[in-house]
Amino acid sequence: MMAATLIDGKASAAALRARLTIDVAAFAATHGRTPGLATLLIGDDAGSQVYVGAKQRACAEVGISGFDHRLAADTPRAAVVGLLDELNADPDVSGILCQLPVPAQLNGAELTNRIAADKDVDGLTVASAGRLALGLPGLRPCTPTGVILLLAAQGVHLKGAEAVVIGRSNLFGKPMGQLLLAANATVTICHSRTADLAAICRRADVLVAAVGVPNLIQGDWIKPGAVVIDGGMNRLDSGLTGDVDFAAASEVAGAITPVPGGVGPMTIACLLRNTLQAAERVLAG
């Protein structure tokens, strides 16, 4: 029997995109230009092609200009760096993302860090991570931002809440912990070497899974009434599966995200939101 409220990420993402469509049109009317997102895809990785295609389509849907740069897998470093520098200097480009992974002769971290911090819509440069760590304004990574927006839409009070994040990647777990901390939760970040993960999870008023291990989090790890956010996207033969044993956890939790249809749809919507924010910040000086 399911006790938990289902947190509908698809509906929240659709609402966010609808609002962004209005805000992008207002930006264009006020400033006589549209925000623009440049994507850089090097090589022919099939998964990356799908992701970049989805990001460009999502831009078009809300009225953001798309600059879809595709380079051959053997493109030399100097040419990629040259293009990134051009995009950094181009006033029509508000945001830039370099789709990872990049081919072996290139260094993904180096290319990511070449992106100007004010155009870093993935929030993955050293400068953006530093701004987040210091509590300075800046562009934040999309997936943890999406989680914060889902919690807000659900009316979850983070101030003083005990939040537990499982995972400490630079992309998800670490910035997730920092965003929860900025929202005045008391945050614990767990990882593969954490002792007694189950006991720590049982303390959580808000539990965020950012692991990549299907069904790791058991029903009896959940505090009754807790809010459970499952960021896991594990591709199994049976389909897309989260990090949380959904059937068991939803009997105990107060609210829970499904997989698919929870955190996933928010990520691209937050990329669009970051692109508009980047455009606005440039004009605000």
The reply to whether 221 sits near ligand NAP by the rule CB under 6 A is: no
- Tell me the HSE value of 135 on the side-chain side, using a 13 A CA sphere: 5
- For 227-244, letters b (16+ CB in 10 Å) and e give bbbbbbbbeeeeeebbbb
Question: Closest separation between CB of residue 4 and ligand NAP, Å?
Answer: 19
Taking the least distance from each CB to ligand NAP, the nearer of 87 and 149 is 149
Nearest of 108, 116, 219, 236 to residue 170 by alpha carbon: 108
Question: What is the contact mask toward ligand NAP in residues 78 to 117, using x (rule: CB under 6 A)?
Answer: ----------------------------------------
How many residues belong to the chain?
A: 285
Spell out a b/e string for 149-169, using b for 16 or more CB atoms within 10 Å of the CB, else e: bbbebbebebeebbbbbbbbe
C-alpha neighbours within 13 Å on the C-beta side of residue 9? 24
Does 159 participate in catalysis according to the annotation?
A: no
Window of 12-20, 126-134, 244-252, 261-269 that interacts with ligand NAP by CB under 6 A: 261-269
Closest distance between ligand NAP and the C-beta of residue 145, in Å? Answer: 11
Among 28, 100, 117, 171, binds ligand NAP (CB under 6 A): 171
Binding flag, residue 35, ligand NAP (CB under 6 A): no
Interaction between residue 36 and ligand NAP (CB under 6 A): no
For the question of residue 174 being annotated catalytic, the response is: no
Element (H, E) at 98: strand 95-98
How far separated are the first and last CA of the chain, in Å rounded? 53
Number of residues binding to ligand NAP, judged by CB under 6 A: 26
65 phi, psi to nearest 5 deg: -70, 140
Rounded CA gap, 216 and 147, in Å?
A: 19
User: Any contact of residue 173 with ligand NAP (CB under 6 A)?
Assistant: yes
Q: Report the residue number whose CB is nearest to ligand NAP.
A: 169
Q: Decide if residue 167 touches ligand NAP (CB under 6 A).
A: yes
Binding characters for ligand NAP, 187-206, by CB under 6 A (x = yes): ---xxxxx--x---------
DSSP 164: E
Whose Cβ is closer to ligand NAP: residue 28's or residue 213's?
213
Catalytic residue among 8, 23, 99, 245: 99
Q: Which of 20, 87, 165, 211 binds ligand NAP (CB under 6 A)?
A: 211
In 3D, which of 190, 178, 101 has the Cα closest to residue 147?
178
Name which of residues 113 to 152 contact ligand NAP (CB under 6 A): 143
Helix ranges (H only) for the chain are: 9-31, 46-62, 77-89, 108-114, 126-134, 142-153, 173-182, 197-201, 246-249, 264-284
| Residue with Cβ nearer ligand NAP (41 or 259) | 259
Catalog residues that contact ligand NAP under the rule CB under 6 A.
143, 166-169, 171-173, 190-194, 197, 210-213, 216, 231-234, 263-264, 267
User: What are the residue numbers of the active site?
Assistant: 55, 99, 122
